[in-house]
Structure 1
Amino acid sequence: MRSGTAATEPTHRFAVATVAALWALRLLTAAGLAVDAYVHADLAPTYDFSGPGISQGQLFRIEAAAAALAALLLILFGTRRLVWAYALSVAAAGVGAVLLYRYVDVGALGPLRDMYEPVWYPEKTLSAFAEAAAALLAAFGLLLAHRRSTSGR
């Protein structure tokens, strides 16, 4: 029997469980962000308009690209806190925007037209749920990645 084996085994199990949990969070968060990216890319042409300013379609394309990038970064570099923070900010901004413009008539803001849309439809609902789930999962992932990095594992 090696000395110290009994003391290090629980620590090793915790490290393995943390890595497994991070992978599960990475995949689930990336899936939520992928749904977000798909829905926004699919809806973007519907919200295009000609004229001065930034169209909602352009904003949808930006959201789609940001969400796709966040999903990719999570898969490739999901142990880094900065990646989790980026994923959290993209998902939270997406769900925040959809809820804001669903329930509040903000009006036009600078180059942005009034984007108030007081209805729910299937793709909008799907996107909101995916963004909310991704934001929640990314918050847990950020916490777990932070704990893992500060514990030296």
Structure 2
Amino acid sequence: MRFQIRPAVLTARLLAAAGLAVDAYVHADLAPQYDAVKATFSQGGLFRVEAALAALAALLVLAWRRLPADVFAWAVAAGGFALIIIYRYVDVGEFGPVPDMYEPDWFTEKWVAAVAQLVTVAAASFLIVSDLVDIRARRHRTPVR
């Protein structure tokens, strides 16, 4: 049964990494357009941080292939998606050092980032469950004598 699960895990890793790469690209590409929106931090700077975190998560999902990397990938994507939704539907206003990032319009890049983040959340959720099943199986394995 373990052999049958591996292709699904590989597919999930590739989907998660691809979603994170798209997220990183979109945020890096949009960052200069948002540099003027600022409090202590600019929205462009925050977009660059999201791009860097998404790129790092994509590399970790592909190269490290461990539970902490999968949880990090999930957190980056879920957090990014949550912020897209919050700043689309709620005018939070300036919040401490974070600028007012309310933007009620859906445009192509926002849709692309949101879909990429949701794909990543789904794939990383599968990876986390798979990791936990593997960890449990290793703990309950009978030692060979």
State TM-score, norm by structure 1.
0.87
Q: Paired residue for 2:103?
A: 117
CA positional deviation for 1:77: 1.5
Taking structure 1 as reference, are residues 58 and 149 closer, same or farther at Cα in structure 2, changes over 3 Å only?
Answer: same
Q: Which structure has the bigger radius of gyration?
A: 1
CA positional deviation for 1:137: 1.2
Residues 1:44 and 2:44 aligned together: no
Q: Paired residue for 1:25?
A: 12
Q: Paired residue for 1:135?
A: 121
Q: Paired residue for 1:85?
A: 71
What is the 5 A alignment of 1:6-21? 14-21=1-8
Contact 2:12–2:124 (CA<8 Å) still a contact in 1? yes
Residues 1:100 and 2:86 aligned together: yes
Whole-Å Cα distance in 2 between the matches of residues 19 and 32 of structure 1? 20
Q: How far does the alpha carbon of each residue in 1:11-43 deviate from its partner, in whole angstroms, 9 at most, with x for none?
A: xxx111222221111001100000000000000
Contact 1:18–1:148 (CA<8 Å) still a contact in 2? no
Gaps of 5+ in 1: 1-13
Whole-Å Cα distance in 1 between the matches of residues 23 and 37 of structure 2? 25
Q: What secondary structure, in the 3-state scheme, does the structure 2 residue paired with 1:131 have? A: helix
Q: What secondary structure, in the 3-state scheme, does the structure 1 residue paired with 2:105 have? A: coil
Gaps of 5+ in 2: none
Contact 2:24–2:54 (CA<8 Å) still a contact in 1? yes
Contact 2:17–2:57 (CA<8 Å) still a contact in 1? yes
Taking structure 1 as reference, are residues 27 and 50 closer, same or farther at Cα in structure 2, changes over 3 Å only?
Answer: closer
Whole-Å Cα distance in 2 between the matches of residues 67 and 129 of structure 1? 14
CA positional deviation for 1:50: 7.7
Whole-Å Cα distance in 2 between the matches of residues 124 and 87 of structure 1? 19
Contact 2:37–2:44 (CA<8 Å) still a contact in 1? no
Percent of aligned pairs with the same residue? 47
Taking structure 1 as reference, are residues 148 and 50 closer, same or farther at Cα in structure 2, changes over 3 Å only?
Answer: closer
Aligned CA RMSD, in angstroms, stands at 1.4
State TM-score, norm by structure 2.
0.91
Contact 1:22–1:145 (CA<8 Å) still a contact in 2? no
Whole-Å Cα distance in 2 between the matches of residues 39 and 98 of structure 1? 13
Taking structure 1 as reference, are residues 60 and 119 closer, same or farther at Cα in structure 2, changes over 3 Å only?
Answer: same
